[in-house]
Structure 1
Amino acid sequence: MRHGSRTALVTGGARGIGLEIGRQLADRGLRVLVGARRPEAAEEACRAIGPAAVPLSLDVTSAGSVTEAVREARELTGGIDVLVNNAGVSLDGDLRPPHVDEDILHTTLDTNFTGAWRVAQAVVPGMVEAGYGRVVNVTSSYGSLALMDSGRHPAYRISKTALNALTRMLAAELAGTGVLVNAADPGWTRSGMGGPSAPRGPREGADTPVWLATLPDGDGTTGGLFADRRPLPW
């Protein structure tokens, strides 16, 4: 299906899974706004994606940066139809609770959870006004309460659990507006975060986020957590 009139914003879009999500969305005919903290990284990613990609300076941990980026995006494209909240960090390695560095906890939450909330808060009202939107929060099975069986990576896990809760709340709040909100677990993927030994390539990791970002009209899938296009328990 082609989506030539649609515009997607991908946060953390300059490398890894984010870059591949942008590439696949562009292949499906969307204009792609590549959000990244470093403008030069966004520009390099756009060269890799092709002419459908537009660089956008965006730091999800800064409310001012988010406001300015969304304003610029609207001036460039007229509106944002698809939001992929992909920006994220994993900083706590093999730390176990209750021994967690508070700076690591705050930084992780501010990027993985609050950052996604900031961007959604700026973008979703325009989607509601247009009667169409797709919001995809890139999460992890590490954030699933049903699947949580380890204390490893506690700050990362908690941030993704919070992001999952935000997904559910946004989906409930936006029911019937034409805006669908879902969470995607890309799996352990080779990237700057996942490392070189991960078993999945970026193309495989990007598949489920891209699928959710391009759900067709009439598909009411919302408020779900998916991996490999299949539901996971919250």
Structure 2
Amino acid sequence: MEMTSVKRALVTGGNRGIGYAIAQGLLAKDYEVIITARSLDSAKQAADKLQGSVIPIELDVTDDRSIRHAVEILYQRFDRLDVLINNAGILHPDNGVDILTISREKLDLTMDANMFGVIRLVQALLSFLEKSQDARIINLSSGMGALDGLTTTSPSYCLSKLALNGATTMLAQSLSSKGISVNSMCPGWVRTDMGGASAPRSPEQGADTAIWLATEASHRESGKFWRDRKAIAY
């Protein structure tokens, strides 16, 4: 087990897009970064491109066996986790459907990846986070999950992010006595595989608030929803 005073962060879906930009930003602040992807090869390829202390791990947040295996690897190698950034998520099940036509299967798929996986990963890593003096959890949500941002044309995505915001509030309340802050944030419309090429924001702009919450924001800030480093309404 590696004992170090350097702060350590885990970024799910850190192999591309906003997750990759978050990893870059944390490395620039001298954090040790664990990046996860559903494929170990994808995580390794991203780790090779990043400059700094990067550890690639295979993790599918929709699979409890994958979560358990990743956690076993972490416990074998490290003494604690300071930051957990739940970035992994999906949008594609909403292609071609709306709230009146989407199937239960597609709703389940998105909820599992975007919300249930977050809760399961927090549960699995809780004892690891408790060993940190400044533990922080940041959930990548969306303005489409705010009550005034819901649309009928992205039903599973909107509902999953709405539920994620609710889970953020509940986790913040449950973990306040343990000194662990929990926040969600909206990166805006970002040029990624999910956001598309016409999106106005770069991955680096989308990653900024997550990096700030992980490194600079007051630890007393918890249970809030953020965009551009400002608290916004759920």
TM bracket, shorter-chain basis: over 0.9
Tell me the alpha carbon deviations over residues 23-49 of structure 1, each in whole angstroms, 9 at most, x when there is no partner. 111111111001101111101111121
Q: Who is 1:219 aligned against? A: 219
**Cα contact 2:90–2:114 (8 A) shared by 1:** yes
Q: Distance in 2 between matches of 1:5 and 1:184?
A: 25
- For residues 108 and 149 of structure 1, the distance between their equivalents in structure 2, rounded to whole angstroms, comes to 15
What is the percentage of aligned positions where both structures have the same residue?
A: 37
Q: Which position in structure 2 is the counterpart of 1:232?
A: 232
**Residues in 2 aligned to 1:116 and 1:219: alpha-carbon distance in whole angstroms:** 20
Structure 1 length normalisation: TM-score?
Answer: 0.93
- Per-residue CA distance 1:74-127 (angstroms, 9 max, x = gap): 222222111000000002035221211222111101100111111111112322
> In the alignment, which residue of structure 2 is the partner of 1:161?
162
Counterpart check, 1:141 vs 2:137:
no
Structure 2 segments unaligned to the other structure (5+ residues): none
- Aligned equivalents of 1:41 and 1:150: distance in 2? 32
- Counterpart contact for 1:10–1:33, Cα < 8 Å: yes
Task: Note the 1:1-234 alignment, pairs <5 A.
Answer: 5-91=6-92, 92-93=94-95, 95-145=97-147, 147-215=148-216, 219-234=219-234
CA distance in 1, matches of 2:211, 2:36: 16
SS across alignment from 1:175: helix
- Structure 1, gaps ≥5 residues long: none
How far the C-alpha of 1:4 sits from its partner, in A, is 6.1
Q: State the Cα distance separating 1:214 from its structure 2 match.
A: 1.4
- Which one is further off, 119-128 or 78-87? 119-128
CA distance in 1: counterparts of 2:151 and 2:23, whole angstroms: 32
Report the CA distance between 1:201 and its aligned residue: 0.2
| SS of the residue 1:174 aligns to | helix
Contact 1:7 1:77 in 2 (8 A): no
TM-score (norm 2): 0.93
Deviation at 1:129, TM superposition (A): 4.2
Q: Does the 8 Å CA contact 1:128/1:177 hold for their aligned counterparts?
A: yes
Alignment partners' CA distance in 2, 1:203 and 1:108? 25
Cα distance in 2 for residues equivalent to 1:84 and 1:100: 29
Give the count of matched residue pairs. Answer: 230
Per-residue Cα deviation, 1:141-172 (whole angstroms, up to 9, x for no partner): 11111x13531201000000111011000101
Partner of 1:5, secondary structure, is coil
Counterparts of 2:214 and 2:107 in 1: how far apart (Å)? 29
| Distance change in 2, residues 1:75/1:90 (3 Å) | same
**8 A Cα contact 1:74 1:80, kept in partner:** no
Contact 1:37–1:57 at 8 Å: present in 2 too?
A: yes
Whole-angstrom CA distance in 2 between matches of 1:77 and 1:34:
14
Q: Which amino acid aligns with 1:197?
A: S
Distance in 1 between residues matched to 2:132 and 2:81, nearest whole Å:
10
* Secondary structure of residue in 1 paired with 2:69: helix
